[in-house]
Amino acid sequence: MTTNPQSRTQWLGRWGFILAATGSAVGLGNIWKFPYITGEFGGGAFVLVYLACILAVGVPVMMTEIALGRRGRGSPIDAIRRVVGESGRGSAWSLLGWMAMLCGFLILSFYVVVAGWSFSYLWKMLSGGLAGSSVEEMAAIFGANNESPLNLGFWSTLVTVATMVIVGKGVQAGIEKSVSWMMPGMVVMLLVLIVYGMFSGGFGDALRFLFSFDAGSLSSEGMLAALGHAFFTLSLASGAILTYGSYLPARASIARTTLTVALADTLVALMAGLAIFPVIFANGMSPSSGPGLIFMSLPLAFQAMPLGTLFGILFFVMLSMAALTSSISMVEATVSWLCDNKGFSRRTASWGTGIVLWLVSTLAMLSFNVGADWTLAGKHFFDWLDYLTARWMMPLGGLGMVLLAGFVLKSETFREELGLSAGWHALWLFMVRYVSPLGILVIFVDALGITRVDFALHWPWLLAVLVVITLVGELTSPRLRRVLCP
């Protein structure tokens, strides 16, 4: 049984998609990772490189996923199958949809554990359970939080249940309605925290840390970090954006919508830095603490400041909402497929998926306590989920998407769906054929630790490689199509 794509539910408006997609992109990583790596790798120089990577890799791939979703009007599996069928290509390409859907589910299986930390720290902040006088004591509280399977399991279960309640209500009444207040609410809370930071005494240091233009500190490692974060931050190749795109009304501009989401994602990440780092600098703490910045250093800093408990509560409410908007996007592909192909009601599909998700996430949660000794090749179950999705499934899925769009499908498919002028369409096609695949390959090779390219020294060679690949690709594209579509 397959649902008629013409009868598929749609967002009530373009802003419903923008808020949902931005909510998917703005997760826990944006709140602490982006500000941290921005300061570490050159401030304003890193931001410029990051924006270039967003435009060169993130935006073209996101446009491709949204176009595939809207054209196919289905889950990643169904949408890709319909679009490749329309072009007369083999159904084997629908395996990309299977991988994207599985990737999103596996990411969520360990993400709910991390999201559970946000909810548990919100409760600790409300109940006074974060009373520590040093970073070491805060680290002990964080360790104790994870050592109890009942405690950690309760909070990850709470995230799972909250996610399924929202998704079970449907696209409009559940997802769109929830993000319509969660995303603006999160931005308002960020603004309040930024104003609070202005009077903390560390706002000037935070501005210099985030935006000082220091090209000399932008190393090859920083460029790779910018490229990798530009790809992963937009929730690409995990089924979320493609599925959300299948609900996008036909009248909405995919290009403008994609650029709006990319801009909003970047702005929220920078706002998070302006909210966090003034408090850190005002208390003489290190901004380079990674995850410890959020769960150890920041709670300690709030304790030492006027009205710190109030603003600490505000911060963890915001963090919890960021976690929840991401989690609902990652499960939607699976729920959509069950509804479309198995005839399940939205509620049945959601709770059925939730039960399986809870079982898998429990194994991930146990990696921090009773299953700490359960390792395979030196990795816990939690680590394996992260490794398989971030280092293999997402880069390979993104690469498959752009090859599909650039060389396999009929050009008329995307020309009609994207609605771009001839010049802009030619630029998009060039990006998905050559620039985006090269960027994803660099991410893939770096993630596997095979080698590391020194961008600072060898960018002319990389540019020359891109030119050669482009010329060869244009000369051999008919033959390449026959290889990809035997």
Per-residue pLDDT of the chain (486 residues; tens, 9 = 90+): 555 565 678 888 788 899 999 999 888 778 877 887 887 787 788 888 888 889 989 999 999 999 999 999 999 999 999 999 988 887 889 999 999 999 999 999 999 999 999 999 999 999 887 877 677 888 888 888 899 999 999 999 999 999 999 999 999 999 999 999 999 999 999 999 999 989 888 899 888 888 887 767 677 777 888 888 888 888 898 999 999 999 999 999 999 999 999 999 999 989 988 998 898 888 887 776 666 778 888 888 888 888 888 999 999 999 999 999 999 999 999 999 999 999 899 999 999 999 999 999 999 999 999 988 888 888 999 999 999 998 899 999 999 999 999 888 988 889 999 999 999 999 999 899 988 998 888 888 777 765 555 554 455 555 566 666 666 655 565 555 555 555
Q: Please report, for residues 27, 55, 95, 425, the alpha-carbon distance to residue 82 in angstroms, rounded to integers and kept in the order given.
A: 31, 28, 13, 22
pLDDT at 71: 95
Cα–Cα distance, 68 to 246 (Å, whole number): 8
Strand partners, 376: 379
Alpha helices in 236-307 (DSSP H): 240-245, 254-282, 292, 298-303
Distance separating alpha carbons of residues 194 and 451, to the nearest angstrom: 40
Residue 180: give the domain boundaries: 5-484
Q: In whole angstroms, what is the distance from residue 38 CA to residue 77 CA?
A: 36
Identify any residues that bridge with 247 across adjacent strands, giving them in sequence order.
Answer: none
Q: Any alpha helices (H) in 41-134, and if so which ranges?
A: 44-53, 59-72, 76-86, 95-127
pLDDT of residue 474: 59
- CA proximity to 362, closest of 189, 115, 109, 119: 109
CATH number at 421 reads 1.20.1740.10
- Token pair, residue 445, equals 């090779």
Looking at residue 85, its amino acid is: G
83, 460, 477 from 482: Cα distances, Å: 18, 32, 9
Burial of 361 (0-12, 13-18, 19+ CB in 10 A): buried
Show Cβ contacts of residue 208 under 8 Å, excluding neighbours closer than 6 positions. 43
State the total domains in the chain: 1
Give the pLDDT score at 398. 93
- Confidence (pLDDT) at 457: 46
Residue environment code for 16-45, b if the CB has 16+ CB neighbours within 10 A, otherwise e? bbbbbbbbbbbbbbbbbbbbbbbbbbbbeb
Classified as helix, coil or strand, 133 is: coil
Cα–chain-centroid distance for residue 355? Answer: 23
